[in-house]
Amino acid sequence: MFEEKCVKITLFFVSLLLLAGCVVSIVFGFIARDNPIYGIVGVALEVDLQQIVFIFCLVAGIVLLFVMACGMGTATKRYCFLHYTFGIFLSLVTVLFIILGVAMTAIGFGLADQLQELCSSENTDSDFQEAMNELYFRCDTFYCTVLCPCYIGSTLYFTGKTAATINPYDNTKVQDCRQYIQAAYSTYNLEFSDIDHIVEFLNYFGEIEMEYKCSGICKLQTVYYFGDSSRGEPPKTCKDPIREDLLIGEMGLMGIGYLIIGVALFVVLFVQYGLCCREKDDRYREDDSSRKYDGSHYENPRPYAEQRAQNYEISQPNGTKPAYVNNNPYT
């Protein structure tokens, strides 16, 4: 059995490690607030998903900080009522973080695999591909036309201007042509409340285009629609950056991080229960065989008596044998 002091030290330092989990959770929150995937899904659900995930991660970090303080406190002072109360709270938090970690890991990696499958050449007629292609095709009715000239590289289409004469009011993305956007997306798969709602939705795709130098989700587009068309022709689609960086690299790793934190919480839970359920001083519970009296000669007296007689015989002068009562050496 481990000494109580060792258990306390273990609980103290394992609880201290939760400080790293607190920092990780807060960092996850700031990353999620800038993740355009949360923004796109949030617009579709009509909620500010980026802010919700951000606040959730901050609250999770504060909870971990509280658990760390309680764990270090219970390792210092032992009050059984507080141990049980803290144990119940810690059990709930442990289950929550493990479920959260498993769920986010499954969502991140699952969506990445699903995106790969939906964008494959075998699913060209899928609703997802049609919706993503339509997102760009609807812009073609006005973008980079005489209605809304756009810069591609250093040339302003339909006017003949060059980069040296670019006017800051000239169009470099679809959102600059606000007067045509609402009509173009009036019958899109998503319902938008107003023009600002549409622009917000398109801006998230613009962030992806600007960050990863890509255009199009399943099909490569020849121009940056929602980012900055003056950067030239995009070299790739946005499918792989979304899969590898935003889904697996952020959501998936966030889930793995919370799963590791859940395992650490389980260790704290296990150690603190071990500290609570043991007696305050277990020195007298240990099996110290050196302090036990050996009474084996009472159970089997013959070998003991023979050894005693032999020792007595050796001690007699001139080898004189001792006199026994009735010739019985055991008397």
24 vs 250: CA distance, rounded Å: 12
Give me the residue label for tokens 């019985």: 328
Domain boundary among 187, 207, 236: 236
Check residue 266 and give its pLDDT: 84
Residues 15 and 106 in one domain: yes
Residue 150 lies inside a defined structural domain of this protein: yes
SS3 content of the chain, % helix, strand, coil (to 5): 70, 5, 30
Q: What pLDDT, on a 0 to 100 scale, did the predictor assign at position 142?
A: 85
Q: In terms of residue numbers, what domain contains 193?
A: 131-236
Q: Are residues 185 and 227 in the same domain?
A: yes
pLDDT tens column, 89-104: 888 888 888 999 999 9
**Residues 6 or more apart in contact with residue 96 via CB below 8 angstroms:** 262
Same domain, 65 and 168: no
108 and 56 fall within a common domain: yes
Q: What is the pLDDT of residue 301?
A: 56
Indicate whether 213 and 111 sit together in one domain.
Answer: no
Please report whether residue 244 resides in a domain: no
Q: Could you tell me if 9 and 109 lie in one domain?
A: yes
> Could you read off the pLDDT of 132-164 as tens digits, one per residue?
888 888 888 888 887 887 777 655 555 444 444
> Are 159 and 81 within one domain?
no
Q: Are residues 114 and 135 in the same domain?
A: no
pLDDT, residue 81, reads 59
Q: Among residues 236, 262, 289, which one ends one of the domains?
A: 236
Question: Is the model's pLDDT at 203 over the cut of 90?
Answer: yes
When divided into structural domains, the chain yields a total of 2
- Tell whether 226 and 138 lie within a shared domain: yes
Tell me, yes or no, whether 312 lies in a domain: no
What is the per-residue pLDDT for 133?
Answer: 84
* Domain membership flag for residue 313: no
- Mark whether 31 and 70 lie in a shared domain: yes
SS3 call for 47: coil
Residue 115: count of CB within 10 angstroms of its CB = 18
Judge whether residue 329 has pLDDT over 80: no
Inside any domain, residue 97: yes
Residues 115 and 264 in one domain: yes
Distance CA 142, CA 184 (A): 8
Residue 111 included in any domain: yes
Single out the residue in 179, 213, 236 at which a domain terminates. 236
pLDDT at residue 274, as a whole number: 59
